[in-house]
Chains A and B, each alone.
Chain A
């Protein structure tokens, strides 16, 4: 796994060449050396730039996901082409066959099935596997812990490169018995986490993250950042948006591009920002997101997300929702976020509605509908749902289209509760006395029968 990290550097220069001025003439920040068009934005996705953020298997997977879910045939073919090129650099024949099938000859003869390449790779794979096996057996007979560990690790790398994820996971986990230092354990955990994320088994991810965090030695900041990202992803999958947001916000700037085989810093910003917006309350949002210096660097990479968070906080709901609408099509192409987009958007919209009505005693629904760019009827339905759910304490005057805040009358409610409790007590005690009389009768009957 260590060799792939260097691959991200050439793409950085590539991206610098794309655009020398920032978006909307944004001034350069001293921390980021890249001034380029933001990749996650409202415009149609620039696939090359997007794919440039990632390396390894996740790059291929993401490209294929985009090809599957994209409507635009041009973008589809672009994605498939890049996927093909990337796969050819690796050794995964299974994915190769898949991609060729998807391309279906639309990209010309260069991108057709190269059976020769396929069989060469497979032969090489067989040879390598035999070699690894014999080496491993030798090490096992010699009982040198370090070599056995390296052997299993190499096996894991081999299986991973060839797409046999289950075997890769098993091999990585086997190294556990032969780990001697915390560094080894951390390496094993990171490998296991990577394979689990690819296999979409996030329960394993959480357990290995906690295992890694429990090592007695202090961890390097990049590794801490990686673990935070992995944990955040696991929470996102489990729909625990608040925990996911907290984890993503803890990721330090040391992450850089070091985890490009899983996640890019833009993703950290997007996921963290959206989850925070959907689940945090106002104070938490201010403290942990807006005033968070570390996270600010991440947000610079996705200025639209930064803008929309600021708009939400300063109650410019129309523009906030507009940004969200623009981002939606691109977010639906993200492999981790796509099935959470709807839920997150609904939650953000509901929070906006609630926040709008909070400071007022009465609200003109026509103005509110304008602020949210919706019709009065639609707004009424949404508000009704929120009121029934007890998230807004208000009542709707449907005739004049005004929303009135309503505060529960504690005194009346107390009296009602008191009377009700009294009645219940009365009923229950009488029923109890009645039942005990029946039981006594029954007992006496049985006792008299015995004598």
Chain B
């Protein structure tokens, strides 16, 4: 008990300036074990600390408190405490002990899920993510946790706001895989298929030394979204995808590849029979909704092809060509596509004719010019970033050592031994 009291006094005393906080950190590290030993009795001491001033200390105490198994009663009390802590803590202090913070937040997530109220966790987790990130380009372990809560709570819009930011730094590969996978699912939920495809593509082509389940599930969704968005699936992964992925992914997702083949053949009846036959398989992967969207997208594809050939076409003919049952159904489909902006047409109900028109976009408006200008700026910044990164790597001693060992040797001088390490 005394040690705890003593610790509390030290925390209160050493939390004012940055150097004090650093020495406090050392003290806390040494005291960590003793804290864990008394985890069950630490709860009342928390009231003596102020999370906004003594964030680091509070964090250590909190982490020790929550170290035990989670039960429903403790969960409800802890959820409140942790939520309050997250909203009031100081970012610089908690960044000194990131793993502790991460474990506390993970516990928080578990408790919220145990109480079956994921919505309670969404906002606090968002704050936690923002506080832990060193910059908006930094991916932390909390990102996928946050997205998971969003998915379970079905508030996709909040998830989307995080996804809008570009990520360039990653702590752990597993974080990235999960982040992109959950992110893809959120985008699918919001019907932003382009962004979903991009995220899933990142998972599938990420460097990995062994095949993992996240990549397999992501590839299944990737196939389906690719069919919905593009109407086709490129059969081979790009060259930069890892070797394990290129070799193994297709064989692990055979029924989906079959679905893609059947889709490409264009016969709607075959596609539907195949889907019926494999219903449970798709259902067990939780992809049934997507598969149904794939089937409906084949009608859209066929109607779009008609716009290339015809200026006007009767609804009956559309129904016949696209293998729909009646002109009424054809009208519904065409109407839906016009509303979604997928084709440009007008329906003349008196004659039962549809008139296809060209894309009315003339590329002459101010908004379009602005859009193009912004794109150009963005791409220029991106290019600069790429150049900067290239220069950094060229100066990296590890890279130079490796490149030096494997460089071409054209002259006697080249055979001088290259220093394995630069001792600067």
Given known contacts A419-B372, A422-B375, A435-B206, A430 and B308 CB-to-CB distance under 8 angstroms? no
In contact, A418 and B372 (Cβ under 8 angstroms):
yes
In contact, A430 and B383 (Cβ under 8 angstroms):
no
A400 to B355, CA, bound (A): 12
Given known contacts A434-B176, A435-B240, A388 and B308 CB-to-CB distance under 8 angstroms? yes
Choice from B198, B310, B383 contacting A396 with Cβ under 8 Å: B310
A397 to B389, CA, bound (A): 56
Q: Name the B residues within 8 Å of A426 (CB-CB).
A: 375, 378-379, 382
Between A412, A429, A437, the greatest number of chain B beta carbons within 10 A of the residue's beta carbon is seen for: A437
Q: Name the A residues within 8 Å of B363 (CB-CB).
A: 411-412, 415
Tell me the residues in window 161-218 of chain B with beta carbons closer than 8 Å to chain A beta carbons: 166-173, 176, 198, 201-202, 205-207, 209
Taking Cβ atoms with an 8 Å cutoff, the residues of B that contact A are 166-173, 176, 198, 201-202, 205-207, 209, 240, 305, 308-314, 317, 351, 353, 356, 358-359, 361-363, 368, 372, 375-376, 378-379, 382-383, 385-386, 389, 393, 398
In contact, A433 and B206 (Cβ under 8 angstroms):
no
A441 to B383, CA, bound (A): 22
Contact with B along A415-443 (1 / 0, CB 8 A): 10011001101110111111111110111
In contact, B170 and A396 (Cβ under 8 angstroms):
no
Q: Name the B residues within 8 Å of A423 (CB-CB).
A: 375
Sample of 17 further A-B pairs with CB below 8 A, known A398-B313, A398-B353, A399-B351 = A388-B308, A396-B311, A399-B314, A409-B358, A411-B363, A412-B362, A415-B368, A418-B372, A419-B375, A429-B386, A430-B166, A431-B201, A434-B168, A435-B206, A437-B169, A437-B170, A438-B206
Q: Name the A residues within 8 Å of B311 (CB-CB).
A: 395-398, 404
Q: Name the A residues within 8 Å of B386 (CB-CB).
A: 429, 432-433
Given known contacts A411-B363, A435-B205, A430 and B313 CB-to-CB distance under 8 angstroms? no
Q: List 26 A-B contacts (CB under 8 A).
A: A395-B309, A395-B310, A395-B356, A396-B309, A396-B313, A398-B317, A412-B363, A418-B372, A419-B372, A422-B376, A423-B375, A426-B379, A426-B382, A429-B383, A430-B166, A430-B168, A433-B385, A434-B167, A434-B170, A435-B205, A435-B206, A435-B240, A438-B170, A438-B206, A441-B171, A447-B398
Taking Cβ atoms with an 8 Å cutoff, the residues of A that contact B are 384, 387-388, 395-400, 404, 409, 411-412, 415, 418-419, 422-423, 425-427, 429-439, 441-443, 447
A266 to B240, CA, bound (A): 60
A313 to B378, CA, bound (A): 57
Q: Give chain B nearest CB distance to A321 CB in angstroms.
A: 24
Choice from B169, B207, B312, B375 contacting A398 with Cβ under 8 Å: B312
A427 to B199, CA, bound (A): 10
Q: Give chain A nearest CB distance to B381 CB in angstroms.
A: 10
Q: Give chain B nearest CB distance to A106 CB in angstroms.
A: 49
A443 to B372, CA, bound (A): 38
In contact, A431 and B205 (Cβ under 8 angstroms):
yes
Choice from A399, A400, A412, A438 contacting B176 with Cβ under 8 Å: A438
A58 to B170, CA, bound (A): 77
In contact, A427 and B310 (Cβ under 8 angstroms):
no
A208 to B60, CA, bound (A): 90
A118 to B376, CA, bound (A): 89
Q: Give chain B nearest CB distance to A354 CB in angstroms.
A: 15
A108 to B328, CA, bound (A): 70
Choice from A397, A400, A430, A435 contacting B207 with Cβ under 8 Å: A435
In contact, B312 and A397 (Cβ under 8 angstroms):
yes
A443 to B173, CA, bound (A): 12
Q: Give chain B nearest CB distance to A70 CB in angstroms.
A: 39
A285 to B131, CA, bound (A): 77
Q: Which single residue of chain B is at the shortest CB-CB distance from A425? A: B379
Q: Give chain A nearest CB distance to B311 CB in angstroms.
A: 4
Q: Give chain A nearest CB distance to B383 CB in angstroms.
A: 7
Q: Give chain A nearest CB distance to B341 CB in angstroms.
A: 15
Q: Which single residue of chain B is at the shortest CB-CB distance from A404? A: B311
Q: Give chain B nearest CB distance to A350 CB in angstroms.
A: 16
Q: Name the A residues within 8 Å of B393 (CB-CB).
A: 436
Choice from B173, B198, B310, B353 contacting A442 with Cβ under 8 Å: B173
Q: Name the B residues within 8 Å of A425 (CB-CB).
A: 379, 382
In contact, B198 and A441 (Cβ under 8 angstroms):
no
Given known contacts A426-B382, A436-B389, A437-B168, A442 and B314 CB-to-CB distance under 8 angstroms? no
A161 to B14, CA, bound (A): 114
Choice from B168, B171, B361, B375 contacting A412 with Cβ under 8 Å: B361
Choice from B173, B312, B317, B385 contacting A441 with Cβ under 8 Å: B173
Q: Which 7 pairs of residues, A with B, have the shortest CB-CB distance? A: A415-B363, A399-B312, A395-B311, A397-B311, A398-B313, A387-B309, A422-B375
Q: Name the A residues within 8 Å of B398 (CB-CB).
A: 443, 447
Q: Which single residue of chain A is at the shortest CB-CB distance from B170? A: A437
A335 to B202, CA, bound (A): 59
Q: Give chain A nearest CB distance to B166 CB in angstroms.
A: 6
Q: Name the A residues within 8 Å of B206 (CB-CB).
A: 434-435, 438
Q: Name the B residues within 8 Å of A388 (CB-CB).
A: 305, 308-309
Choice from A400, A412, A415 contacting B312 with Cβ under 8 Å: A400
Q: Which single residue of chain B is at the shortest CB-CB distance from A383? A: B309
Choice from B173, B205, B353 contacting A399 with Cβ under 8 Å: B353
A447 to B372, CA, bound (A): 44
A429 to B378, CA, bound (A): 12
Q: Name the A residues within 8 Å of B351 (CB-CB).
A: 399
Q: Name the B residues within 8 Å of A442 (CB-CB).
A: 173, 207, 209
Choice from B176, B308, B359, B375 contacting A387 with Cβ under 8 Å: B308
Q: Give chain B nearest CB distance to A267 CB in angstroms.
A: 40
In contact, B168 and A433 (Cβ under 8 angstroms):
yes
Q: Name the A residues within 8 Å of B382 (CB-CB).
A: 425-426, 429-430
In contact, A434 and B312 (Cβ under 8 angstroms):
no
Q: Name the B residues within 8 Å of A435 (CB-CB).
A: 205-207, 240
Q: Name the B residues within 8 Å of A399 (CB-CB).
A: 312-314, 351, 353
Q: Which single residue of chain B is at the shortest CB-CB distance from A406? A: B311
A243 to B209, CA, bound (A): 53
Q: Give chain B nearest CB distance to A386 CB in angstroms.
A: 10
Q: Which single residue of chain B is at the shortest CB-CB distance from A439? A: B207
Q: Name the A residues within 8 Å of B309 (CB-CB).
A: 384, 387-388, 395-396
In contact, B372 and A427 (Cβ under 8 angstroms):
no
A39 to B207, CA, bound (A): 72
Q: Name the B residues within 8 Å of A433 (CB-CB).
A: 168, 385-386, 389
Q: Name the B residues within 8 Å of A384 (CB-CB).
A: 309-310
Q: Give chain A nearest CB distance to B389 CB in angstroms.
A: 7
In contact, A441 and B170 (Cβ under 8 angstroms):
yes
Q: Which single residue of chain B is at the shortest CB-CB distance from A397? A: B311
